[in-house]
Amino acid sequence: MTAAVAFGLIALIVVGAALGLVLKRNPIHGALFLVVNLGGIAALYLTLGAEFLAAAQVIVYAGAIMVLFVFAIMVLIPGKEETGPDPRRRYRLVAVPVGAALLVELTLIVARRGAAPPGPAVPGGVETIGRLLFTNYLFPFELTSLLLLAAMVGVMLLAKRT
Amino acid sequence: MVPESYYLALSAVLFAIGVMGVVVRRNPLVIFMSIELALNAANLALVAFGHRHGSPDGQALVFFVMAVAAAEVAVGLAIIVVIFRVRHRLSVDDLSLMRW
């Protein structure tokens, strides 16, 4: 019962923050809404027993990635870009029925599966994930480090004033 | 215990909102944030599936998605900064150079 109430509350916060991101015109407000959304998803990870991911979500997403976003917004000051009439309003309004159709399809897929009996509990601690990453997923793990290095070099190259 | 299908439904709602954000908004930064939203919805679905099957593999997958998303955000924001430097405006409607 408590779990259901907690899930409902967090789900409300998460969906509300997501709508705020899409509907607010000021990108800084959108970024703050996204932080709330990411924090809510971290809480959902906790309710699913994924403690490590919840911590990683807060550190990597709400911490590192959102700081990068806020930096970019501050540097570019695009606050006034979306004021004024929309030159492609007719096309953008199509997004509403298309998005609604997508939502209906996705929920139909979920609903058709029906309720399944709950599976066994998943260990979500650091030890389980770490063991998995360094045994079954060792190669992708090392590839990820290569990817991050490539991204770092690429960003430096792109951001350098020529 | 909340059934996993609730998590999947929430994930579907978040993904749909993210896709609509990508289509509706004109500011590339906000579009980017909407993509992050959709990515997070997919992550949530992955964790829910892993929970359903009682295996931590879904969580390992989400770990990799997070790392790739971090790299993607860094490169994408750098590209947006470069575009802004060249064009002095930020609107996806102006960026039709590569359109067929």
Query: What tokens were used for B86?
Result: 């060249």
User: Residue B45 in contact with residue B11, Cβ under 8 Å?
Assistant: yes
Tens digits of residue pLDDT in B30-42: 999 999 999 999 9
SS3 string of B16-48?
A: HHHHHHHHHCCCHHHHHHHHHHHHHHHHHHHHH
Rounded to the nearest angstrom, the minimum Cα separation between B100 and chain A is 18
Confidence (pLDDT) at B16: 92
Max mean pLDDT among A3-7, A82-86, A95-99 falls in A3-7
CATH of domain B4-94: 1.10.287.3510
Span A72-76, mean pLDDT? 84
Confidence (pLDDT) at A122: 66
Q: For residue A68, how many other CB atoms are within 10 A of its CB?
A: 17
- Domain ranges (residues) in chain B: 4-94
Task: Tell me which amino acid residue A132 is.
Answer: L
Searching chain A, which residue's CA lies closest to the CA of residue B57? A132
pTM: 0.86
Query: What tokens were used for A131?
Result: 């063991």
Q: For residue A117, how many other CB atoms are within 10 A of its CB?
A: 6
Span A91-116, mean pLDDT? 79
Residue A79 has pLDDT above 60, yes or no: no
Tokens 């930064």 -> residue: B29
Confidence (pLDDT) at B38: 94
Query: What tokens were used for A144?
Result: 């990820």
Query: What tokens were used for B71?
Result: 């790299």
Distances (CA, A) of A118 to B1, B23, B77: 9, 37, 41
Q: Hey, which residues 23-42 in chain B have their CB within 8 Å of chain A?
A: 23-27, 29-30, 32-34, 36-37, 40
Q: Poorest-confidence range of A87-101, A105-119, B71-85?
A: A105-119
Q: Cβ–Cβ of B37/A37 closer than 8 Å? A: yes
Residues of B in contact with A126 (CB under 8 A): none
Picking from B21, B32, B64, the nearest residue to A22 by CB comes out as B21
Span A24-34, mean pLDDT? 89
B85 pLDDT band, cuts 50/70/90, is confident
Q: Cβ–Cβ of A76/B84 closer than 8 Å? A: yes
Picking from B15, B37, B44, the nearest residue to A34 by CB comes out as B37
Tens digits of residue pLDDT in B2-46: 888 889 999 999 999 999 999 888 888 899 999 999 999 999 999
